Amino acid sequence: MTVRTVSQDPAPPLHDVDGVLARLERMEREGIWPNGLRYLWTDAFGVVLLVSLWRLTHEARHVEQAQWVVSEVERVLGRARGFRIGEAPERSGQYYHYLAMWMFALGRLGTIDSRYQEKAVALARDVHSAFVLPGRGVVWKMREDLSAPDPESGLGSLDPFHGMVVYRQLDAVRLVAEIAEMEMLVQASWRNLTIPQDLGLGMMLWLTHFFPDEAWARLQRERSLVLLDRLWIDPPGYFCRGPGQRRVRFAFTNYGVALGLQSCGVSGGRVRRVLEYFDRYRSGDHDDQDAITHVMGCVARLPGAFLDTPGD
């Protein structure tokens, strides 16, 4: 029997514009997003999603809504330096990978309005030194004022890759010093790095597709695809959270995997199976209504501006 792996199932990315528009209308009607509590990761994905819709429809309302989200994030989550994780009381502090994703979102909106590109570059310059320990790593979580690492924080294994890729996307000239520090960290870790969880593997796949011919990207892409094969639970058709966690599954992390797979142009069958499964599945807890679940579900159906193809 032949074992089909994700790398043997090429497929183009999805473009479900009508489905995404319907989901966004329902989310707004139910106060989920963009008119719910602010959460930096969700808002970053949502802003890029709105840019995707603008690219395909050229309707100004999508840009206007993205600009409104940015202004609300700045108003609610903005701090003297950086952005708080989320509006809810338990979402204090700052995550580097959330900030990096927000920079990416600003940069994508900056392809329409250059002011947002400037905001992204300024944010990178502002927070980089607080999180990055040259030659050692990137602090995963800082206190809200960036005065010190959070007591429970360590070094984020994916963060140097995330920062390097986003900085290079934003401005390889103005961020040359910051890029150099991230590249040193990537060079020190890419050969031995093994990511243990589903969302991390999806995000690594997404990061590799920007520079697919670089050695770190080739190795991490293949390693991530192999590890995702081991997390695939069939039937019914989802990626479990990690090794030994066959029954643990989250919709939003599977949507992140779906984004990663589509960015590399593979596993169209599994992407569709994931979307079909989580259309039916209900966890019975807050995840069913959390904005992160619904916004990332839209991105999985319309990866558009997340991909390194400006015309999509």
Q: What gap in Å lies between CA 209 and CA 169, rounded to an integer?
A: 12
- 85 and 156 inside one domain: yes
Q: What gap in Å lies between CA 114 and CA 107, rounded to an integer?
A: 8
- 218 and 239 inside one domain: yes
- 167 and 44 inside one domain: yes
Q: What gap in Å lies between CA 294 and CA 252, rounded to an integer?
A: 8
Q: Are strands 132-133 and 238-239 parallel, antiparallel or unpaired?
A: unpaired
Q: pLDDT confidence of 309, banded at 50, 70, 90?
A: low
Evaluated on CA atoms 191, 7, 227, 40, the torsion sign reads positive
| Count of positions (residues) in the chain | 312
Mean pLDDT of 145-166: 97
Q: What gap in Å lies between CA 254 and CA 251, rounded to an integer?
A: 5
Mean pLDDT of 292-301: 98
Looking at 189, 224, 250, the residue that finishes a domain is 189
What is the count of structural domains for the chain?
2
- 59 and 178 inside one domain: yes
Q: What gap in Å lies between CA 268 and CA 266, rounded to an integer?
A: 6
Looking at 189, 208, 238, the residue that finishes a domain is 189
Q: Which domain holds residue 235?
A: 1-30+197-312
Paired residues of 39 in beta bridges: 86
Looking at 163, 189, 215, the residue that finishes a domain is 189
Q: Are 168 and 179 in contact (CB under 8 A)?
A: yes
- 42 and 182 inside one domain: yes
- 81 conformational bin, left if phi > 0, alpha if psi -120 to 50, beta if neither: beta
- pTM value? 0.96
Residue range 83-93, pLDDT digits in tens: 999 999 999 99
- 206 and 287 inside one domain: yes
